[in-house]
Chain A
Amino acid sequence: MAKELQGLDKDKLKQYWAVNVRLTAIIMGIWFVVTYVCAFFAPQLNQIVILGFPMGYYMGAQGSLIIFVVLIFWYAARMNKADKEFGVEEEE
């Protein structure tokens, strides 16, 4: 099972995983802020109204969702690039 590990540089693998962990942490941080922090402060955010939308309501109904979609595509693009940088991409 682990034959794909053969010939790979241990340090490079470590670096690759570190890149992944850091990116995951950043994404989870943003995810936490747009859902839980924004929802917690929704009463205050609702004081700001743009195009009729109270901002607290908007974040729950749309803003957070848009950020979720962007986060996942960003993660995919960044990791797909990192695969090549560290030579762990899959064979085509």
Chain B
Amino acid sequence: MGMSNVGSKSFLDNLGKIYGMYTGGFIVFVILLGIAEAYFGMSPKAIGYTYMGITIGLYAMIGIASRTAKISEYYVAGRSVPAIFNGMATGSDWMSAASFIGMAGTIFGLGYDGLAYIMGWTGGYVLLAVFLGPYLRKFGQYTIPDFLGARYGGNAARSIGILAAITASFTYLIAQVTGVGIIMSRFLNLDFGVGVFVGLAGILVCSMLGGMKAVTWTQVAQYIILIVAYLIPPTVMSYKATGNPISEIAYGQVLQKIDAKEKAINADTKEIEVMALWKAQADKLDADIKGLPASLDGKKADLNAKLAAAATPAEKEAAEKALKALPATPEAAKEAWGAAKTAALGKSKPIKPYIQPFARLDAKNMLALTFCLMVGTAGLPHILMRYYTVPSVKEARTSVGWSLFFIFLLYFTAPAVAAFARNEVLNSVIGLPISQLPAWMANWGKVGLVAFKDINADGFLQFYELTIAPDAIVLAMPEIAGLPYVISGLVAAGGLAAALSTADGLLLTISNALSHDLYYKMIDPKASITRRLTLSRALLVVVALISAYVATFKLTIIVELVAWAFSIAAASFFPALVMGIWDKRANKTGALVGMWVGFLSCLIYMIGSRFYGLDIWGIKTISSGLFGIPLGFLTIYVVSRMTTPPSKEMQDFVESVRIPKGASQAHAE
């Protein structure tokens, strides 16, 4: 199929055929692995290594075959990506490890309120389609800071663009690299650090030689693997549970079963007994917190006495371990015990119905979160720049539709996955004797994603005796559905594809911001093409290494920072981009002040509410953009009207961005 000609005319003319063959080939490969497992006893470890080897090898081949020395191919894939394929590439660019592995688990835990993520991360594409996508394609440069620089005249606006693009993309990148490390270490039994660097090699080989061109065609391949991997387990599970293989339709009846079982659990005397035990635990923790620092000293003294009196090595080890686990200072104790108390209190109350709106987040916060995620989606530079790669404005418009369609396939299945998993747990696991729990619980217990303890010592599992980490839902789904290991391996390969494809896009955004916007546009506008490309490739390696290094620390704050990145992108980028197209009167001063106001007001609320108890209308930290976004718009509007209007030339520029005519001229370079 001429892999050496990726991007050539014959390649572009036969895209459907090429990726059709690729999909068919991949499915045959999965079936062969399945046969090897069933009839030849292929081990899970061998299956894991085969999946990782074959898929990363495939991505690397595409990456190498897409090598290029042309600027327009390196930065925007030669603007030759048809709408539907750009849609697939955007889909995998967008869907990260968090979407693939975490989303269904979030809904499993949050019920209706978790749908804020589903609506937020899809509804943002409507904003992108009508406010930005087609116009950015008409503008037709290489990066998002390019647009800010051109529209708001000069390096000041471009600099803020660079800063915001790097801040948002880098935190997001670390989360992806961490995701790669987790999947690698879990399925290949590699050390986390080794897993990160193996994954990194996979990321680099895809982006370094061919830039956007290589990333685009790899992302299409990655989309196909991730969507196949995501859809198979719920389809089987749905067929087994309801006789209907279309899980997205069948889970309606499952929702009813969940609701009925939750009511039954809330009325069960054994369950009520467990809730009461949690209440006692919470009260005890409360007393301990109030008794600080004496209570901590008391515990320390008790354990030291136990250690001194220990007769066997096992007793001694247990006492040492408990001593180590004790918080070091009264402040640390207050925080740790406070969190434990909140968790215990949550388990001391009847289950809030899964389908009931606003049971876990209040209405205000659920709507605010949806809004921030939507606007953030439309403001993320690694997504926006994908619309530079299509051939025309017309295709840019359609391409946003295809993007959302391909994302929709996963996002409308995620609530079904969550519902089937919850139904399985409630109706087949809760109430079982502890000695007869299914094997998947023990398997995932070993890696710490599932935990259970017979608190009331009745020999049976009650609802609040079981804890399931959100990540376990998708990863354990094949086992819960009783599927062979070959499907578990497939799901891991899908998760890896999701993390790698997003990491590729982010890495490119960061290195482009540095090599194109900072170096070429601001420092050395006379730099040769070779120099620019070499610099960009070198930066890819440097940024990748830094992100891997940071990821090996496994900072827990990263997950939180990713959520912050959305609000920051939403408050700093989105207003300036939209006003640049929709408000001819918006000028440089307005945009600069507006971007800073949006960025800072968002940041102040984040830090204030997270660490210093700042609280406006009870809005949570994760929705900080709720204030920054409107303030950003308002500031640009007002400040622009208080200062000199943009030149006639600039107004003509805005006028020209608004019509598709002439888009192919921007094509020329």
Q: Does B130 contact A24, Cβ atoms closer than 8 Å?
A: yes
Contact check: which of B123, B130, B251, B256 meets A64 at CB < 8 Å?
B123
Contact check: which of B123, B130, B656 meets A4 at CB < 8 Å?
B656
List 15 other contacts, CB 8 Å, given A2-B649, A73-B401, A88-B660: A1-B653, A3-B662, A4-B656, A23-B130, A39-B367, A42-B357, A51-B249, A52-B252, A57-B255, A64-B119, A65-B122, A72-B129, A80-B394, A89-B394, A90-B394
| Contacting residues, chain A, for B665 (C-beta < 8 A) | 4
With contact pairs A3-B662, A69-B401 given, residues A79 and B134 touching in the complex (Cβ less than 8 Å): yes
Q: Indicate whether B583 reaches chain A with its CB closer than 8 angstroms.
A: no
> How far, in angstroms, from A83 to B131 measured CA to CA in the complex?
17
- Which of B178-186, B263-271, B405-413, B549-557 makes up part of the contact surface? B405-413
> How far, in angstroms, from A79 to B255 measured CA to CA in the complex?
40
Contact check: which of A28, A62, A69 meets B415 at CB < 8 Å?
A62
Q: Does A4 contact B357, Cβ atoms closer than 8 Å?
A: no
Q: Does A90 contact B660, Cβ atoms closer than 8 Å?
A: yes
> How far, in angstroms, from A56 to B339 measured CA to CA in the complex?
32
Q: Does B130 contact A28, Cβ atoms closer than 8 Å?
A: yes
Contact check: which of A5, A46, A50 meets B356 at CB < 8 Å?
A46
Distance (Å) between the CB of B575 and the closest chain A CB? 16
Q: Identify whether the interface residues of A are mostly helix, strand, loop, or mixed.
A: helix
| Contacting residues, chain A, for B661 (C-beta < 8 A) | 4, 8, 83, 87-91
> How far, in angstroms, from A4 to B358 measured CA to CA in the complex?
52
Q: Indicate whether B599 reaches chain A with its CB closer than 8 angstroms.
A: no
Q: Indicate whether B490 reaches chain A with its CB closer than 8 angstroms.
A: no
Contact check: which of B118, B248, B358, B663 meets A90 at CB < 8 Å?
B663
With contact pairs A1-B653, A13-B655, A90-B661 given, residues A31 and B123 touching in the complex (Cβ less than 8 Å): yes
- Mark interface residues in B341-353 (1 if CB within 8 Å of A CB, else 0): 0000000000000
| Contacting residues, chain A, for B393 (C-beta < 8 A) | 83, 90
Q: Does A2 contact B656, Cβ atoms closer than 8 Å?
A: yes
Chain B: interface residue total (CB-CB under 8 A): 57
| Contacting residues, chain B, for A24 (C-beta < 8 A) | 130-131
| Contacting residues, chain B, for A80 (C-beta < 8 A) | 394, 397-398
- Mark interface residues in A39-68 (1 if CB within 8 Å of B CB, else 0): 110110010011111101110111011101
B positions within 8 Å CB-CB of A: 112, 115, 118-119, 122-123, 125-127, 129-131, 134, 248-249, 251-256, 355-358, 363, 366-367, 370-371, 374, 392-394, 397-398, 400-401, 404-405, 408, 411-412, 415, 649, 652-653, 655-656, 658-665
| Contacting residues, chain B, for A69 (C-beta < 8 A) | 401, 404-405, 408
Q: Does A39 contact B134, Cβ atoms closer than 8 Å?
A: no
> How far, in angstroms, from A4 to B340 measured CA to CA in the complex?
65
Contact check: which of A35, A40, A52 meets B253 at CB < 8 Å?
A52
Q: Does B404 contact A54, Cβ atoms closer than 8 Å?
A: no
Distance (Å) between the CB of A89 and the closest chain B CB? 6
Q: Does B392 contact A62, Cβ atoms closer than 8 Å?
A: no
| Contacting residues, chain A, for B363 (C-beta < 8 A) | 39-40
Q: With CB as the reference atom, state the residue of chain B lying closest to A78.
A: B397
Q: With CB as the reference atom, state the residue of chain B lying closest to A57.
A: B355
| Contacting residues, chain B, for A66 (C-beta < 8 A) | 408, 412
Q: Does B653 contact A61, Cβ atoms closer than 8 Å?
A: no
Q: With CB as the reference atom, state the residue of chain A lying closest to B404.
A: A69
Chain A, 1-34, CB within 8 A of any chain B CB: 1-5, 8, 13, 16-17, 20, 23-24, 27-28, 31
Q: Max chain A CB contacts within 10 Å: which of B119, B355, B358?
A: B119
| Contacting residues, chain A, for B357 (C-beta < 8 A) | 39, 42-43, 46, 56-57
Distance (Å) between the CB of A30 and the closest chain B CB? 9
> How far, in angstroms, from A43 to B175 measured CA to CA in the complex?
35
Distance (Å) between the CB of B572 and the closest chain A CB? 22
> How far, in angstroms, from A76 to B134 measured CA to CA in the complex?
9
Contact check: which of A8, A39, A73 meets B119 at CB < 8 Å?
A39
With contact pairs A35-B370, A80-B397 given, residues A72 and B355 touching in the complex (Cβ less than 8 Å): no
Distance (Å) between the CB of B141 and the closest chain A CB? 11
Contact check: which of B252, B411, B664 meets A91 at CB < 8 Å?
B664
Q: Does A42 contact B394, Cβ atoms closer than 8 Å?
A: no
Q: Does B119 contact A35, Cβ atoms closer than 8 Å?
A: yes
Q: With CB as the reference atom, state the residue of chain B lying closest to A58.
A: B252
Q: Does B356 contact A76, Cβ atoms closer than 8 Å?
A: no
Chosen A-B contacts, 15 in total, with CB atoms closer than 8 Å, are A1-B653, A2-B649, A4-B665, A23-B130, A31-B127, A36-B371, A61-B115, A62-B415, A68-B126, A69-B405, A72-B126, A72-B129, A76-B129, A88-B659, A89-B661
> How far, in angstroms, from A73 to B345 measured CA to CA in the complex?
48
Q: Max chain A CB contacts within 10 Å: which of B131, B394, B649?
A: B394
> How far, in angstroms, from A36 to B229 measured CA to CA in the complex?
32
> How far, in angstroms, from A62 to B247 measured CA to CA in the complex?
12
Q: With CB as the reference atom, state the residue of chain A lying closest to B656.
A: A2
| Contacting residues, chain B, for A5 (C-beta < 8 A) | 652, 655-656, 659
> How far, in angstroms, from A20 to B627 measured CA to CA in the complex?
28
Q: Does A54 contact B660, Cβ atoms closer than 8 Å?
A: no
Q: Does B118 contact A61, Cβ atoms closer than 8 Å?
A: yes
| Contacting residues, chain A, for B660 (C-beta < 8 A) | 83, 88-90
> How far, in angstroms, from A53 to B419 measured CA to CA in the complex?
12
Give 5 closest A-B pairs by Cβ, nearest first.
A52-B252, A4-B662, A60-B115, A76-B397, A2-B652
> How far, in angstroms, from A71 to B127 measured CA to CA in the complex?
11
> How far, in angstroms, from A57 to B371 measured CA to CA in the complex?
18
| Contacting residues, chain B, for A43 (C-beta < 8 A) | 356-358
Contact check: which of B129, B255, B397, B398 meets A52 at CB < 8 Å?
B255
